[in-house]
Chain A
Amino acid sequence: MSDDRADVLQGTLDLLILKTLDVLGAQHGFGIARRIEQVSADVLALNQGTLYPALLRLEQQGLIESEWGTSTNNRRARFYSLTRRGRSRLVEEIDRWHRISGAVNNIVTDGGPANARA
């Protein structure tokens, strides 16, 4: 593992999980972790242990649901999937993320509104 991998930003883990489940459909914890690391091309280092409390929290909020099933290599695994409420929350969260990341982008990039005024 290289040192230039970034930790998942505080507060974005929920968004990543919801989006992953949206794309993959029902998936187990390991699959979610793999997918996040793969899609981010190993830029994001996920502390995989933090995944499970986050999954429980989302389930408590009624955004995802889970059931036990069998994985591709025939092992028992718990599969999580999005609920309707989770889907609509995902839309809100993506929108929010765009606004926040856009704003952060504007601040840190040259040519943003701040520089333009100077």
Chain B
Amino acid sequence: MSRLLARFRDLWRRRSIARSFDAELGFHLAELEARHRAAGASPADARSAALREFGNVARAREDLRETAGFPSWDEMVNDVRFAFRGIVRRKWLAASVILILTLGLGAAATIYGLVDAVFLRPLPVRHPGELYAVVNSDPGRPERLSRGTVRRLEESLPACSVAAYSGGSRGAVQVGEAAAAWANLRLVSGNFFPTLELEPRAGRLLGASDDAPAAPFVAVASDGWARKTFGTPEMAVGREIVVNRTPVTVAGVLPAAFRDVSVGQLTELWFPAAVQSRLHIYGNSSESLGDDRPNDPDWNREERISWLQILVRIRPGGTSAAAAVDRAWAVERDDLIKANDDTEERARMKHRTWTLMPAPGGRSRLRGSFRSTGWLLGTVAGVMLLLVCTNVSGLLLVRSMARHREIGVRLALGAGSVRVMRLGFLEALILSVLGGAGGWLLATWLLPAAAHLLLPGDTVEVALGFRSVALMLAVAFGCAVLSALAPALWISRVEPLRALSGSRGLGRAPVRLGRLLVVGQFAIAVALVALATALGAELQKVLAADPGFDRENVITAVFDPESAGYEMKTVPALLDRLEQTLGTVPQVRGVSFSLTGILAGSQWASGIYVRDPHALGHQRSIQHDAVLPGYFGVVGIPILVGRDFSKDDRAESMPVAIVNATFAREFFGDRNPIGQSFGMDAKASKDDRMIVGVVADSHPNGVRAPVPALFFAPVAQAGDAIPQFIAVRFQGSIEAMMGNLRSVLARAEPGLVFTNWKTLQERMADDLRGDLATSRLAAIFGACAILLAGTGVAGSLGYLVVLRQRELALRIAIGAAPGGLFRSVVTDSVRLGVIGSVIGLAVVAIAPRLPAVQAALAVQPGLFSGFVAAGVALIVAAVAGAIPGRRASRIDPIQILKSD
């Protein structure tokens, strides 16, 4: 080992070793000479005798060199130098190879970055490999547990090995005098942070003493929230904030790397689970209601409310905790069974068991929804890399062949064919590494954009770490090996003598293969571009179509009076106040409220019974909404028949409803629905609603979703429903109005948070975001495929031109015009483009008829978009063919024919 190190050291001081040897040699020879002189020889004789005695000086020097370093290293350095010179000499070709590699490797790195962020990266906590999630044996049942189960589990396992956390929820947070803002919250058990072994960025994290029924209100903030709100994490510690109208002290700040336990979410404030009911925090839960007793309003004391997910840490030497989870759950299970009257469900619960699953990255719903996209992207990246390699290989092959004479000379002079091949590989490697570096740069720029496009809400932190660099190098190396294969194969067949005389060997097999490849690439490109244009055109059409509401002049937002601490009975007065306050903003023309609203992401549905014996349907689950009088006017949904709600539709007056046109058609056909009634119970009752009006259809759930049958009730007659959607009709500049709107609201109701201010037009664009992303991705990949096809054409036709050099030279020599040769090559290229386009068009025409494709695609590319794509492909083919065409037209017949 030390020997190797010494060799490496000597490698770098080889010059000084050579110098010192020369000095030693001088001394040695002088001493020998002096001895011969002393024996009586003449100076000249003494000198030659000394040299004779010493032996071969050159040999000694060479041996020394070899001992000092690594002989093959020298060769390698020379080869690298030579390869660099070769690359610089043909810089255009090198540039195009690097460009292709940059594109391919950049796309691969970007996709890897996304996959890494979603699937591979562990939680930023100590020893994430020790963390396990619990899963139960009933598929589809949520993995939530009651507080009691968590407590029992904590008692049966070693200290600090259960981290329990609630589902994410939101709360109104007020800091100082500023208006309240919404923040993402989570409730956690006292052992949560100690189990994850997280260290605070500032202050302290929550512990067991904070998670007690009478403990003072404290919270831990995320680094980002602390910076946004207080400037630095340190300044947040000890500050008082108001959460859902209750004062809370910020105890500490988490490290910046820790965003949440679940990829795709960002939690800004963390509270002890014990404050759940006192801070009015209601996240996701599964609640069972029994007839025997009411549920405790504090979730911490109720076995029938399952609301905590857990991560279990099993430290080295610990045993699996699955049995302990089963035991701890038994009490919760028995209580749930008591509350449930469905015998089937009770039997299922009885047999439910729990197992542990390694979860170094925590649990995330995003993973499930992103899986298919991930696979798709991975496949695309793989195909792209393969195409990149084949194209680069083609280009390098042409390049090697163009150098056949030089290679012949090298082989004839005794260079081993391995060394000549190695040179080709080195060139490919250098190009690949450069391409890899370019790709990495491209990816650092592309990754945030891709994450923004494909992952929801910018909550996933994407970054290209050390692993991506390593992967990039590995892929670049793989590309180099693959790309150098064909040229190496060719070199292995070169016979020096024949090469020197101008023959090129290998024949037409690679030409056929190359042409097939080019045609395939054109076909893929045409299909992709057709898909992209079709998606784009369809999106334009959807966006242009009438959604049934006024999208231009209505701005909307969501709010939540309940979590902001408003009592149920004060809400009507609050809405009146809001309406009046907003009326003072000059641009505002009308204000109204509804429960779920339009494109705001929430729905509400109930089973109804239509009383009319002649109705087309009698019992169905129907979506509904509760609105204030005047709502339809504000959002621009026209009333077709009957009347709007009025102030006279009060809780104690006759229940009424307004239905949409689809509802009327589906239940009553052509008959007039006004005066018909329906109710929630199987038999007619005094709570039945009478239909007083019909409104036009609109798309409340999604622009692309079919219009649902829908009924509206007045808020006053909708039980304890609290409106959470505000619509403001305005006229004039939206910017000016938004400024006024915000300041007026902050002054009037500082504790109430309005988020997501958007015009209905913006809500439509948001709704189509996924489709926009698909369309843009298809366009990007289509463009890449066309570009690759272009380089493929240039490469494979280039090969053909080199192969036909002699024939072309002969034709020029006997009078063919160079322009004619140029045209013939370009025509050949366009022909490939035409064949590829036809195949691509056939795919476009046939694929949408396959059921699998229909299911996967929202749109079916029409032939028109296919023709657009084919046109683009032909232009690319012509341009790409011009490069080898130029080469063909510039052939110098004398040069070529001379070699015969």
Q: Enumerate chain A interface residues (CB-CB to B < 8 A).
A: 1, 28-30, 33, 47-50, 52-53, 56-57, 59-62, 71, 73, 75-78
Contacts and interface: CB of A to CB of B under 8 A. Distances in A.
Contacts of B66: 53
B773 interface: no
**Top 8 closest A-B pairs, CB basis?**
A49-B60, A49-B55, A60-B6, A53-B63, A47-B55, A30-B31, A30-B28, A48-B54
B23 A76 contact: yes
A53 B3 contact: no
A1 B10 CA distance: 36
B21 interface: yes
24 contacts: A1-B53, A28-B27, A30-B27, A30-B31, A33-B28, A47-B56, A48-B53, A48-B55, A49-B55, A49-B56, A49-B57, A49-B60, A50-B55, A50-B60, A50-B63, A52-B60, A52-B64, A53-B60, A53-B67, A56-B67, A56-B68, A60-B7, A76-B23, A78-B20
Interface string B229-263: 00000000000000000000000000000000000
Interface string B59-75: 11001101110000000
Contacts of B20: 78
A77 B60 contact: no
B10 A75 contact: no
B839 interface: no
A61 B32 CA distance: 29
B67 A60 contact: yes
B59 A49 contact: yes
The prevalent SS among residues of B at the interface is helix
B895 interface: no
A72 B296 CA distance: 105
A47 B55 CA distance: 6
Interface in B7-50: 7, 10, 17, 20-21, 23-25, 27-28, 30-32, 34
Contacts of A52: 21, 24-25, 60, 63-64
A57 B67 contact: yes
A48 B64 contact: no
Contacts of A59: 6
Contact of B24 (A47, A50, A60, A77): A77
Nearest to A61: B3
A43 to B, nearest CB: 16
A78 B63 contact: no
Interface in B428-467: none
Nearest to A56: B67
B733 interface: no
Given A48-B28, A48-B55, A56-B64, A78 B10 contact: no
Interface in B801-839: none
Given A47-B55, A53-B60, A78-B27, 12 more contacts: A28-B24, A47-B56, A49-B57, A52-B21, A59-B6, A60-B3, A61-B3, A62-B2, A75-B30, A75-B31, A76-B23, A78-B20
Contacts of A28: 24, 27-28
B1 to A, nearest CB: 11
B23 to A, nearest CB: 7
Interface of B: 2-3, 6-7, 10, 17, 20-21, 23-25, 27-28, 30-32, 34, 53-57, 59-60, 63-64, 66-68
B67 A78 contact: no
Contacts, number: 70
Nearest to B64: A53
A13 to B, nearest CB: 12
B27 A76 contact: yes
Contact of A78 (B3, B6, B23, B54): B23
Contacts of B54: 48-49
A57 B69 CA distance: 11
A34 B236 CA distance: 83
Nearest to B65: A53
A77 B27 contact: yes
Contacts of A30: 27-28, 31-32
A77 B868 CA distance: 83
A115 B59 CA distance: 44
A77 B29 CA distance: 12
Contacts of B63: 49-50, 52-53
Nearest to B4: A60
B17 A56 contact: yes
A76 B23 CA distance: 8
Contacts of B21: 52
A21 to B, nearest CB: 15
A60 B10 contact: yes
Contacts of B32: 30
Nearest to B32: A30
A75 B60 contact: no
A49 B7 CA distance: 20
B594 to A, nearest CB: 85
A62 B900 CA distance: 61
Best-surrounded residue of B3, B23, B28, B60 (most CB of chain A within 10 A): B28
A62 B17 CA distance: 16
A78 B3 CA distance: 21
B254 to A, nearest CB: 53
A29 to B, nearest CB: 6
Contacts of B2: 61-62
A44 B515 CA distance: 71
A44 B31 CA distance: 20
Nearest to A60: B6
Contacts of A62: 2, 6
A16 to B, nearest CB: 16
Nearest to A53: B63
Contacts of B27: 28-30, 71, 75-78
Contacts of B67: 53, 56-57, 60
Contacts of B31: 30, 71, 75
Contacts of B23: 76, 78
Contacts of B25: 52
Nearest to A77: B27
A48 B50 CA distance: 10
B40 to A, nearest CB: 17
Contacts of A47: 55-56
Contacts of A33: 28
Nearest to A66: B20
Nearest to A75: B27
A42 to B, nearest CB: 12
A29 B68 contact: no
A48 B21 CA distance: 13
Nearest to B34: A73
A47 B57 CA distance: 10
B262 to A, nearest CB: 57
User: Which of the listed residues B17, B54, B56 has the most CB atoms from chain A within 10 Å of its own CB?
Assistant: B54
A29 B54 CA distance: 11
Contacts of B24: 28-29, 52, 77-78
A60 B64 CA distance: 12
Contacts of A48: 28, 53-55
A59 B9 CA distance: 12
A84 B94 CA distance: 56
A50 B31 CA distance: 17
A61 B21 CA distance: 18
Nearest to B56: A49
Nearest to A33: B28
Contacts of B68: 56
A81 to B, nearest CB: 15
B524 to A, nearest CB: 58
A62 B67 CA distance: 14
Which of A29, A48, A49, A50: most chain B CB closer than 10 A?
A: A49
A73 B35 CA distance: 12
A1 B7 CA distance: 36
A53 B55 CA distance: 13
A39 to B, nearest CB: 17
Contacts of B59: 49
Contacts of A60: 3, 6-7, 10, 67
B18 to A, nearest CB: 11
A28 B67 CA distance: 19
